[in-house]
Amino acid sequence: MESYGQYCPLAKGAEVFAERWTPLILRELLRGSTTFNDLHRGVPSMSRSLLSSRLKKLEACGVLERRARSTGTHYELTSAGRELGSVVTQLGTWAQRWYRSTFTGAELDVGVLMWDIRCTVNAKALPAIRTVIQFIFSDLRANSRAWWLVNEDGEADLCPVDPGDDPKLQICTTLRTMTRVWMGDLSIDSVLRSGALTIVGPRDLRRCLGGWLRLSPYAPVADARRATIAGRPDLITASQRNSQ
């Protein structure tokens, strides 16, 4: 473990928390992912070997524990790890307020978005019977254009390949639009009115979209930079114009 060579508690905490990828691994653990594969789905750009190394380091620091179960190895936060939850939340809140994404191509990833949606979906707001919801991203290549959420017995799973059932609900939009909706940058009503997002399916399922599609926990956080430059359009940067 690299050390700052200081006794300062902030330095000691940063040795554990501030290494690249570690906050995102903690994010996945905090929202319920416990298997190696599920953790990797939340950080797909991270190599599996590096993820394994980070998990070992967090275990050595007492942040998580490995538990062997009949389904394989599971990773669970210790009390020390759960205490980092407020740090993760506050960092995300600060970034959403002061350094939020402008949703450029380099920051958009359909796999990450759909995994985020799957992790926050309110499965109990959907019919109790097996229900398949298809997302179609019209701006993506054919091999990554369609994704499916499968809800059954109160649990939702994500399928990047056709699960074989006809979808009860079909949502068609672009990756950027759906990401902005999930992050609270655009309202569902506004994109429906503009036609940027369309929904095909039974009326009752269409009407309950806002009930099962839970937005990012950071969606309610206001953009402080936009408020700061209100009334001063000359201060708006190019990246901020692109995000509007």
Ordered mean pLDDT values, 10 residues apiece, the chain (244 residues): 89 95 98 96 97 97 96 96 98 96 93 96 91 97 96 92 95 98 96 97 90 95 79 48 49
Q: What is the pLDDT of residue 235?
A: 44
Residue type, 70: S
At 186 the pLDDT is 96
pTM of the model: 0.88
pLDDT of residue 239: 45
Q: Please report the pLDDT score of residue 71 as a whole number.
A: 87
